[in-house]
A = this chain, B = another copy of it.
Amino acid sequence: MAKEQQTPKFRRAAATVRREALIEATLACLRKYGHDGLSVRRIGAEAGVSPGLITHHFPSVSTLIATAYETLSMSLLHSIEHHAREVDSSPRERLRRFYEAWFAPALLDPGLFNTWLVFWSMISHDAGVRAVHDRTYAAYRAALESLLGQLQRTGGVPAFRLRPAAIALSALLDGLWTEASINPRTFKPAEAVALCEDWTHALCAGAFPSLHPDTGGPSRASGRRQRRPRPQNRRRPVLPIA
């Protein structure tokens, strides 16, 4: 009994690495358990650590979630951008690779979608999470604007307004990703890529009138119908639910 294998009850770690470990444990929990994963006890168990530690390292649990949100979001964006930039080829090709990365199997994990749902559902409650969303959404849009800007400088591509174009493309990507994550049987990832490629094609063909640079606002967006008499003055409520 002289040389007992007395394993230490816990190991100390620098605050930085412990915080990082907690963030990774949080992401693992959200991925595995979805909305039930953001519990100090569950995250602590995942990290092999006492529940009280997370409130010791983070002012509150929502701060931890917000940090995890920013970490994951930026990591994904960098991975996708890196994948798109890998081959040195035309902007059009880079955009296509961006789509491919967006619908790669790793991105279509249902656990990842559930993670995102948790982030989204916290936006309306927590100001920190909302700030992270605004930052990361801006970063995604900036990435798309960069790719689209390179595309615009390609010969034969008509000029278009970058910001609304990026908004539309981002929405298309998000919408396809959402449905693909919910029900993988609706369409194959390659179909999603093809639909995004179609969008690129239409953009290059100048088929999006409201994106023309001289189009100031959306009021003149439709172009042809200047007279919009707002026909039904008696506003029929679109949402009859109480």
Contacts and interface: CB of A to CB of B under 8 A. Distances in A.
Interface string A34-55: 1100000000000000000000
Interface in A198-242: 198-199, 201-202, 205, 207-211, 217-219, 221-222, 231-232, 236-242
Contacts of A34: 121, 124-125
A24 interface: yes
Contacts of A179: 137, 167, 170-171, 174
A202 to B, nearest CB: 4
Interface in A35-84: 35, 72, 75-76, 79-80, 82-83
Interface residue SS majority, chain A: helix
A142 interface: no
Contacts of A236: 82-83, 86
Contacts of A239: 75-76, 79, 104, 106-107, 109, 112
A77 to B, nearest CB: 11
A185 to B, nearest CB: 9
Please give the count of copies of this chain that the complex contains: 2
B194 A167 contact: no
Interface residues of A, number: 82
Interface of A: 24, 27-28, 34-35, 72, 75-76, 79-80, 82-83, 86-87, 96, 101, 104, 106-107, 109-110, 112-114, 117-118, 120-121, 123-125, 130, 133-134, 137, 164, 167-168, 170-176, 178-179, 182-183, 186-188, 190-191, 193-195, 197-199, 201-202, 205, 207-211, 217-219, 221-222, 231-232, 236-242
The 6 closest A-B pairs by CB, nearest first: A171-B175, A194-B221, A175-B175, A106-B239, A202-B202, A202-B207
Given A167-B176, A191-B210, 16 more contacts: A75-B241, A79-B238, A86-B236, A96-B222, A104-B239, A117-B117, A118-B121, A120-B178, A168-B172, A170-B179, A173-B175, A191-B218, A194-B210, A197-B209, A197-B210, A201-B207
